[in-house]
Structure 1
Amino acid sequence: MTPAPKDRFPVAASRDDPLLRHLSDRFGGPAGRRLRPRWRPTQVLLGLAVLAILLSALTSQYCRINGWGGVEVFHAGCYSDISALYSQRGLAEEPFSPLIAPGYFEYPVLTSVVAALAAALTQFLLGLELLEGILWEEGRASLLYWDLSFAAAALVWLVLVLTVMKAAGARPWDAAIVAASPAIIFGIGINWDIWAVAALALAVLAFQRGAHLSAGLMIGVGVSFKLFPLFMLGAVLVLVLRRDSGLSMAVFLRTLLGALASWLVLNVPAMILSFSSWAQFFELSAERGAGYSSPWHIWQVIAERSGGTGLAAETISVWSFVLFAASCAGILVLGLLAPKPPRMVQLLFLIVAAFLLVNKVYSPQFMIWLVPLIALAAPRIRDALIWQGFEVLHFWAVWMYLASLAGEQDPQHSFDSVLYVAAVLGHIGATGYLMVQVVLDILHPARDPVRRSAAQVKLQDRSPESSRAGSRPIP
């Protein structure tokens, strides 16, 4: 899908989306075809994103005021790996410890670089006499570190919104799913996942525009933050294997070459600097057992309540891999047998969602991974809101569950295991529901809202009115 030319009208969200069309009846009805709006999509979407960033900062105010220690961080819902790792991984003493031995930092190289640069900037600002005692105190260095990391992540969020808007083509308003996302509001301050999400979105945009080598380069960048951008290569391969997709094996090879080249450029220096530090992420991924909120952890919780025993870490690793491989095989068959070539981002969504469902851990911030993919693969506002509602429920459930494990708590101040398991199952069910919707869109292309919008744009190009219409977009 290529971006709509500037002389085309974007599809009006209040006419296209069933929920927005229904709600628009309370405010004068859907947008008319001759409406000339005052605000362009870029201005509105960035405005929504800025408001969401402010709301996100407010959700962490308890921890910014009182610190990130103690069980109250769970009650306030503002726990952050970023602040915790600043002191626990030695960043406060040696900013570049994630990249050099004997430092321990269980993240890929670019995440380590971002964390290290923020730590170095923190130490620099704390050392300025001009700022001494004005903004941050020496004892609250973790606050400054979190603030700097959050500010950088907020800028990446704005880039992500613009990227999704461009990738949406004639449907720029779908990027509102990202700009005003509750999942990102609550999850962006926990870890550095937004960086990998933005890199993957840029890779999708480049691929849609036919810049396959650039798409590969961004995949390599994304993999150097987190593993999941690698799955885009699988989605591309499925399309290449179809004879009617218009993509040759050369497309896949260019994308793969770009990914490999950028990954090597970013990772080989880190390997040379300290191979042991570089390998820590891969060692942890291979050795870890059932993490919180994964189906494997739910299995453990249910087994413990019934007096049974859980699964060994090795068994979980094997079954997690087998189930993910089976899911990928199913997506391959679906992509090859679909009546029309699926959109690449639909396949990518299914692969990433399948990985999240069978992975050994589901951290609260992982919900960010799917938000831009939902906006591009299944842009139905109602479904997106329902899914994000379940994700926010899980967000609070896991913190309240951890609060119950952290110490003696009154029952009203925590969730027991039954409520926690129910919230996790809700997250799994909501994600599975979205996967079913995408599968149905692939099997029945006429129900895919993106394909319908493309057809509308083609009809608009053929309409005599299109030559007389202005160039201002319809909201």
Structure 2
Amino acid sequence: MARTIDKRVAVLAAAMLVTCLLGWLFKAHCTTRGWVDAIQYTTGCYSDAMPFWAGRHVDEGLIPYFQTPVEYPVLTGVQIWFEGAITRGLFGRSANDVAFLGAVTIANALLAGLILWMFARSGMDRTRLWLWAAAPPLILYLGHNWDLGAAAFAVAALLAAQRQKLVLAAALAALGAAAKLFPALLLPLIGLSALFAPGEPWRTRIGTAATCTLVAIGAWAAVNLPVAIAAPDNWSEFYRFSAARSGTAGSTWEILSTQGFWVTDVPTRNLYASLAFLAGAAAIVALGWRQHRGHLWVLATPVLAWFLLTNKVWSPQFDLWLYPLLVMTTPRLRPLALFVIGDIAAYFAEFWWFAGMAGAWPYATPHDILLAASVRGVAMLWLIADAVRLPAPAWIGRAPRRAA
């Protein structure tokens, strides 16, 4: 039996290796001559790593926050610096943006493999393991940005919650929020899981919830406070940048604006986006309470989906935040397939829109973005409805085991 399991794990690992190689080829195929004729948009090979190399002084080895601002939370800034150091150490004077893209891609591939390993150890069924090992979003986004670090923390936090290790889950989610902000959405559900744990006396529940809160604050502060005290302006760049952004082409608010339905200034958009998210998240938790009382953490997936739908910014790689959580918790796989179709369509619609602005072909219009994002949005609403009303996948109730 052990040999059969090892063989299955090896096959899944090989499949993930192929997926990651495809992710590298997707981003790197346009690097031989550079980004000419808007090829980064027409073929979708754009990556934030390429302009970051010189634009954020990665090539010079400047330390993020202390010597140069970075518009990401601290752990992501550390990851960027470390990948830059590896690139310069390996290539010396020959180090360039393409080599840095390679380092970013390899680091993200390792994080994707870590997520697969955590999934396999958790007792997840084989179909879901394959959905991650051969995930289309990994091809699109493996070399795009630095989201898989936070995604790995989010997955680890939810798997800790599955094992009823809620204090550990809170610490992991807080560390994830120190890499990208979205794992912070898990923390209220982890706290509620502790406060309303079935079969526990109230004193134990309150104590566990308080410990989760203190540990989460402590973990986040341990990473952030030293930087915030030493370089407050550069540390706060991420938060100021996020508040000042008006939106991105694929977000619900920007689509409504381009279609002439909802034109607002940035402060008003911030307010309405926040109110819409809070109201929807509260409804998701309330409606899903009875079905998921014993594992409230599974509602993190629909809450995150609703956050993406109501947020003013929806960068394409944000779909990589949601996809591993969908693999974990979605009751049915058909809406997941529709989500992937919408994700791919929205990705190319948005970049072909950039291509059109650069006078290149193929190009897309805001109406094309609307159609593609609508497919993705319908899939996400379907996934939210399923997550609220249907039982959690069978693997969640099984004891963790080493299996594939």
Please, what TM-score do these two structures have when normalized by structure 2?
Answer: 0.91
Number of residue pairs aligned between Structure 1 and Structure 2? 400
Q: 1:235 aligns with which of 181, 184, 189?
A: 189
Aligned residues of 1:238 and 1:332 also touching (Cα < 8 A): no
Letter in 2 for 1:302: Q
- Cα 1:41/1:379, change in 2 over 3 Å: farther
- Cα 1:193/1:312, change in 2 over 3 Å: same
Q: Compute the RMSD of aligned alpha carbons.
A: 2.6
Q: Within the alignment, does 1:372 sit opposite 2:324 as a pair? A: yes
* Inter-partner Cα distance in structure 2 for 1:450 and 1:207: 16
Alpha-carbon distance, 1:377 to partner:
0.9
Q: Residue 76 of structure 2: SS of its match in structure 1?
A: helix
Aligned ranges 1:182-221 → 2 under 5 Å: 182-221=136-175
* Inter-partner Cα distance in structure 1 for 2:242 and 2:198: 38
What is the aligned partner in structure 2 of residue 426 from structure 1?
375
What is the aligned partner in structure 2 of residue 157 from structure 1?
112
Q: Within the alignment, does 1:315 sit opposite 2:272 as a pair? A: no
Aligned residues of 1:99 and 1:113 also touching (Cα < 8 A): no
Q: 1:166 aligns with which of 112, 116, 121?
A: 121
What is the aligned partner in structure 2 of residue 408 from structure 1?
359
Give the number of the structure whose alpha-carbon radius of gyration is greater: 1
What is the aligned partner in structure 2 of residue 466 from structure 1?
none
- Cα 1:408/1:149, change in 2 over 3 Å: same
* Inter-partner Cα distance in structure 1 for 2:291 and 2:151: 30
What is the aligned partner in structure 2 of residue 268 from structure 1?
225
- Cα 1:242/1:105, change in 2 over 3 Å: same
Q: Within the alignment, does 1:349 sit opposite 2:301 as a pair? A: yes
- Cα 1:318/1:126, change in 2 over 3 Å: same
- Greater Cα offset, 210-219 or 265-274: 210-219
Q: Within the alignment, does 1:90 sit opposite 2:34 as a pair? A: no
* Inter-partner Cα distance in structure 1 for 2:178 and 2:308: 18
* Inter-partner Cα distance in structure 2 for 1:81 and 1:414: 21
Aligned ranges 1:121-132 → 2 under 5 Å: 121-127=86-92
Q: Within the alignment, does 1:99 sit opposite 2:65 as a pair? A: yes
Letter in 1 for 2:240: E
Cα deviation, 1:338-388, whole Å, max 9, x if unaligned, reads: 155153342110111111110111111011111111111115343322211
Letter in 2 for 1:269: P
Alpha-carbon distance, 1:231 to partner:
1.1
* Inter-partner Cα distance in structure 2 for 1:388 and 1:285: 26
* Inter-partner Cα distance in structure 1 for 2:116 and 2:297: 16
What is the aligned partner in structure 2 of residue 258 from structure 1?
215
Aligned residues of 2:120 and 2:402 also touching (Cα < 8 A): no
Alpha-carbon distance, 1:61 to partner:
2.9
What is the aligned partner in structure 2 of residue 32 from structure 1?
none
Aligned residues of 2:331 and 2:386 also touching (Cα < 8 A): no
Gaps of 5+ in 2: none
What is the aligned partner in structure 1 of residue 45 from structure 2?
78
Aligned residues of 1:206 and 1:212 also touching (Cα < 8 A): yes
What is the aligned partner in structure 2 of residue 147 from structure 1?
102
- Cα 1:379/1:215, change in 2 over 3 Å: same
Alpha-carbon distance, 1:172 to partner:
4.7
Identity in percent: 26
Letter in 1 for 2:83: A
- Cα 1:219/1:70, change in 2 over 3 Å: farther
* Inter-partner Cα distance in structure 1 for 2:206 and 2:126: 31
Alpha-carbon distance, 1:321 to partner:
0.4
* Inter-partner Cα distance in structure 2 for 1:172 and 1:225: 29
Q: Within the alignment, does 1:62 sit opposite 2:29 as a pair? A: yes
Q: Residue 380 of structure 1: SS of its match in structure 2?
A: coil
* Inter-partner Cα distance in structure 2 for 1:339 and 1:375: 19
Aligned residues of 2:147 and 2:180 also touching (Cα < 8 A): yes
Q: Residue 218 of structure 2: SS of its match in structure 1?
A: helix
Q: Residue 99 of structure 1: SS of its match in structure 2?
A: coil
Letter in 2 for 1:254: T
Cα deviation, 1:121-169, whole Å, max 9, x if unaligned, reads: 2233332xxxx7xxxx45xx001111111111110110011112233x2
* Inter-partner Cα distance in structure 1 for 2:51 and 2:27: 14
Q: Within the alignment, does 1:283 sit opposite 2:240 as a pair? A: yes
* Inter-partner Cα distance in structure 1 for 2:300 and 2:195: 15
- Greater Cα offset, 210-219 or 53-62: 210-219
Gaps of 5+ in 1: 1-5, 8-35, 459-470
* Inter-partner Cα distance in structure 2 for 1:41 and 1:213: 32
Please, what TM-score do these two structures have when normalized by structure 1?
Answer: 0.78
* Inter-partner Cα distance in structure 1 for 2:253 and 2:323: 24
- Cα 1:111/1:69, change in 2 over 3 Å: farther
* Inter-partner Cα distance in structure 2 for 1:158 and 1:143: 22
* Inter-partner Cα distance in structure 2 for 1:124 and 1:322: 47
Q: Within the alignment, does 1:382 sit opposite 2:334 as a pair? A: yes
- Greater Cα offset, 151-160 or 81-90: 81-90
What is the aligned partner in structure 2 of residue 18 from structure 1?
none
Alpha-carbon distance, 1:253 to partner:
2.4
* Inter-partner Cα distance in structure 2 for 1:214 and 1:346: 16
Aligned residues of 1:213 and 1:257 also touching (Cα < 8 A): no
Alpha-carbon distance, 1:38 to partner:
7.2
Aligned residues of 2:150 and 2:179 also touching (Cα < 8 A): yes
* Inter-partner Cα distance in structure 2 for 1:268 and 1:235: 25
Alpha-carbon distance, 1:255 to partner:
2.4
Q: Within the alignment, does 1:329 sit opposite 2:282 as a pair? A: yes
- Cα 1:209/1:263, change in 2 over 3 Å: same
Alpha-carbon distance, 1:51 to partner:
1.3
Letter in 1 for 2:109: A
Cα deviation, 1:218-268, whole Å, max 9, x if unaligned, reads: 112101111111111121233345463758233322322222222111111
Q: 1:450 aligns with which of 391, 394, 397?
A: 394
